[in-house]
Structure 1
């Protein structure tokens, strides 16, 4: 997380104000130029709108989209003799076999045995014992409650399947990612630059876009789900663990090198142990990323809770989707708290804060009931398979009744908010972006990139704009960009209000911080469920879901940036008689400008990710195009072009925002 360093006290003194004003005016002039570009754009748009928009009519397809469809057909036809395709399918087959074996062990019947090899009671007991061993009794209780809830609400098999896919993907991510993290942490600047570029691209790609090429090369089902989850979960462990290794104190390394240690000894005995805490943070982020992607993988028939969520969303059954959605949240919170607590418990044990002898005795004693539970789960049907439960259907009915009551009584309010936002922001901006001639919109975007970020933003924007034109979905890309920008505006409004409030009120920060942390652990798929109930199947549903998804990280960035402003500077401002409003507007927000730009950057990417998923609920644009490519095999080339266009759009807005943030920081 990037925040401004606290300024020196003398920077706020009145006699130093002229230099400070000059520094503030430089970035302001960039925004003035940007405003000028927008005004010029609007003027030309008023004369040319509706011409050369590059909108495709009906089933019309470009040559590039047809070529992508032909590529897919060639890949399918060459599965028998193409070594690369054979290799990818062998890898996928290996993942499928592993997942299938684990499922038959703990979640589905292992024919001719009508139940799994280890029933729910044994699985729960083993999971609780592991939690006790790595993180203590509080986490053990959390795990017990979580596993029992899977069965009580009627989704034991789906929940355990989701955990299986997540754990397989995380295990492979660690095996592949840790060597790359070591290379990144110990390599030279050129190696870091190359790896950082690849990681940036992978983390900019919305989750949905991973699915089409992976389904093509690895197949659908467990294989596609594991590979998609693996690729999405890999960057965090590489980036975070590599950062931890690279930032180990140079003085410590020099001191140990003087003893004549080898490079391997330095890594194993100094760098990895000292970077342990950061590595665990990377593992935590990888686990949550894997869980998030494992739910999206339901689109390629991946096992887990994503399947019932998707099935109920298709029929707009909010209550039915709510129950498995809540269980996904339960899994996310359980994994997040377990990995964090395991790191803290391990550090405490390393410092001698844990009685190891007593710990061994407790674990040995706890193993006895675990063995008993394993025996019972293999012997008694009630301990092997959860019986039918009415809790899930009853909760689903209650949720449907609540949302029915809410929409009946607050329909005018929600509809009014939707209509107001559409009239003020959504419709005018969509008209400007999507109804401008392509050459006008492209030129305006290039000028804005140069004004805000210089050549660092102009070059990638030029490449991305060229790519969007090449793949033939310019009009739909502008519709998606419109939804993303509107969503980002709403995110930043929330971030400014709550971020500044949290920074100025420690009590509110204490209350809001856990809620925001919980919000960041919820997979994006789940956000669609309540928003769908409130706003129905419209593009506005996708925007609001994106706002809810992106708001936590943006609020925290703004709060931390404003909080980092020096108390000495604030005291000097108050001594001149400034009001609270003047203090916020003229001191805290300008000095936290870099954090505000970073919050806008993250908001853009999060909202863009949800705009794609929103294609399921009438969002239109590139998201709908990708979903269409999945639903109809004859539209695969069209959907693939849309997926690539989303990647280009994400990279473009990311690079513009990053370059603007770097200029602002300087």
Structure 2
């Protein structure tokens, strides 16, 4: 008979030991296992079944897309849908043309616009004063004067016209949808709208252009329509979020008072969500300005035209001046909408002397009308006088660029070669030179490791789509460049995000820079990168990194800052060093923010894929640009655009699933793991 030893009884008042957790490999370890097996298979099979096709060779699907385009163009006079879209595009063209003749181009037989530069500047300055105050009025006035001083008055006004027309229709279409999203009690409605918005916001900007040109032609019509579509999602999503998140207690009070749904919306939900709605409007304006700039590629009017022309000629100085004015316009519009929201809140709280404000506005309105009259009467006040500011600044930029590249060519080449030789080329060889079925299997396994079952179905659908459209090899090269760019973005995001979160002075210094960086359209980022690295794929990657870094850094900073001070104090009481506190407490506890930053960073980098195709990025970006340039390549360009969207959706869904799984895991295990990590 075997004796049994009873376990010792716990002493009175002692806490029972925590239940043991089943040990399992962390997700990063499983990912390394998958990658390790993938490398072994790649070493044995590389270069086979990569599905690489020559540039000018088309698959059957790509040829069918070209035939579809030809059939659409052939049926313009008989197809009711095409007739409607072209009629709508013609109406947009007429609106833009009327506005141009009013403020930017001669209205023949009048040799100048109906309202000259002085009148336009005076009206814009008065509007800035009326909606946001004298500081914004000065900013607006100085911005408009700079457009003329640097020699781009007409192009600047054209860009503002396209942006304004697109924003007006975005609000007219988007606000009813935002109300529907914010007030609907049907889950399927919310899910449907959010899914459509996810798809639209995942699409890189250039992808909009191919179908828009097909159905609306080129010129102002295509510029307005593609800008309108691209600018719609922010106002719908943000305004709908604000309406939906009005306090339930307030809603219950309105129901108890017997208000109808329309009364509740007009008197309670919209006023209480006003600040959030203005944020959505701000994001819509920024998106519209960004897209209106890119629309220069389809002959859209505006400052994008001289930027695009200079980029094609590798004229850094010629691209810098209009690019700088785009930034000036972006900052002006961003600051004006933000300040307008703050001014309306101050007025609502009674912090503004309304009588004095009306007097000031009335007096300045008279001055603005006088300026309009003068600009219509005197030619010298209607047409901005020629100056040498623009060419002079372009020359200085060219001289500085030549000096900088000659001086630091060794450093820039070293950095480019370091990333290319030790990161980009090996990763591209693994992803693009493995047999397509090996890469597809590895991606599916990694999707399951990071996103579990939630990520599998969208990954399967997107991979099948990439295989179907016949650009698998180019898609894998684009995916490689995107992953490398995202890795560099996350390195910057973690370093600067943690620094900002732990030092208020650093946050105060960097946040305005990051805010300004988010207002710059992606086109503009190519200019300095082209000067530093020349027309190569690395130029596109670095431009994407600089474009994506601001949003990722801010997300990481906000996530790290959100870690509970109590938790930090507890870790410090255990004797944790600064490095341990960052790596074992703050970063692990802000993991969901890191996942979101990686998701957004990757989508921003991917958005530069096609734009980078104009400066030597190759792969899908080049295919899309080729589809624009040659009519016989339209099908291949369309397939490349769809493939970019599929890559974006696939990665977005994997990141979302990973973030959801991380949140569920965190909620299920409340005990702070950092104690065990620190030995406490």
Tell me the residue number matched to 1:505.
503
Of residues 512, 520, 523 in structure 2, which corresponds to 1:522?
520
Matched residue SS, 1:454 = helix
1:89 aligns with 2:86: yes
Determine the C-alpha separation between the residues in 2 that align with 1:179 and 1:273. Answer: 15
Any idea what the Cα deviations from partners look like across 1:280-306, whole Å, max 9, x if unmatched? Answer: 110000000000100110110000000
How do 1:203-602 residues align onto structure 2 when only pairs under 5 Å count?
Answer: 203-602=201-600
Mapped to 1, the partners of 2:242 and 2:265 lie a distance apart of 12
Give deviations 1:332-381, integer Å, cap 9, x for gaps: 00000000000110111111111111111111000111111011101111
Deviation of 1:43 (Å): 0.6
Cα distance in 2, alignment partners of residues 601 and 100 from structure 1: 40
* Alpha-carbon spacing, 1:436–1:16, altered in 2? closer, same or farther (3 Å): farther
1:108 pairs with 2:105: yes
Match of 1:632 in 2: 630
Is 1:121 the counterpart of 2:107? The answer is no
Aligned equivalents of 1:654, 1:665: Cα separation in 2: 16
Query: Shift of residue 17 of structure 1?
Result: 10
The 2-side partners of 1:238 and 1:575 are apart by 47
The one-character-per-residue Cα deviations of 1:22-73 (angstroms, maximum 9, x if unpaired) are 59x77x6222111111111111000000000000124211000000000000
- 1:528 deviation in Å? 0.2
Q: What secondary structure, in the 3-state scheme, does the structure 1 residue paired with 2:26 have? A: helix
Q: CA deviation at 1:16?
A: 11
Q: 2:274 and 2:562 mapped to 1: Cα distance?
A: 27
* Higher Rg of the two aligned structures: 2
Q: Distance in 2 between matches of 1:587 and 1:262?
A: 50
Shift of 1:450: 1.2
The one of 639, 651, 654 aligned to 1:653: 651
The CA distance in 1 between the partners of 2:500 and 2:55, in whole Å, is 49
Report the secondary structure of 1:81's partner residue. coil
- In structure 1, C-alpha distance between the alignment counterparts of 2:159 and 2:262, rounded to whole Å: 37
DSSP-derived class of the 2:632 partner: helix
CA distance 1:16–1:453, shift in 2 (3 Å) = farther
The partner residue of 2:166 within 142, 166, 169 is: 169
Deviation at 1:611, TM superposition (A): 2.0
Q: Which residue of 2 aligns with 1:11?
A: none
Matched, 1:145 2:160: no
Instruction: Give, in angstroms, the shift of residue 579 of structure 1.
Output: 1.1
CA distance in 2, matches of 1:560, 1:120: 43
Secondary structure of the residue aligned to 1:203 is helix
Moved over 2 A (4+): 15-19
Question: What is the match of residue 68 of structure 1?
Answer: 65
Please give the TM-score of this superposition, normalised by the length of structure 1. 0.96
Considering only aligned residues, what root-mean-square deviation do their CA atoms show, in Å?
A: 1.4
Deviation at 1:387, TM superposition (A): 1.8
> Which of 148, 153, 178 is residue 156 of structure 1 equivalent to?
153
Shift in alpha-carbon separation, 1:209–1:17, aligned structure 2, 3 A = farther
C-alpha distance in 2, partners of 1:17/1:229? 61
What per-residue deviation string (whole Å, max 9, x for no partner) do you get for residues 193-235 of structure 1?
0000000000000000000000000110000000000000000
Report the Cα distance in structure 2 between the residues aligned to 1:574 and 1:379, rounded to whole angstroms: 73
Deviation at 1:572, TM superposition (A): 1.4
User: 2: CA distance between counterparts of 1:661 and 1:441?
Assistant: 24
CA 1:16–1:66: 2 relative to 1, 3 Å: farther
Of 54, 76, 79, 2:76 maps to 79
Count of matched residue positions in the alignment of Structure 1 and Structure 2: 650
Distance 1:212 1:16 in 2: 66
SS at 1:56 equivalent: coil
Deviations 1:54-113 (A, max 9, x none): 001242110000000000000000000100001111110010000000000000000100
Displacement of 1:612: 2.0
Aligned with 1:59 (options 56, 59, 73):
56
Superposed CA offset, 1:390-415 (max 9, x none): 00000000001101000000000000
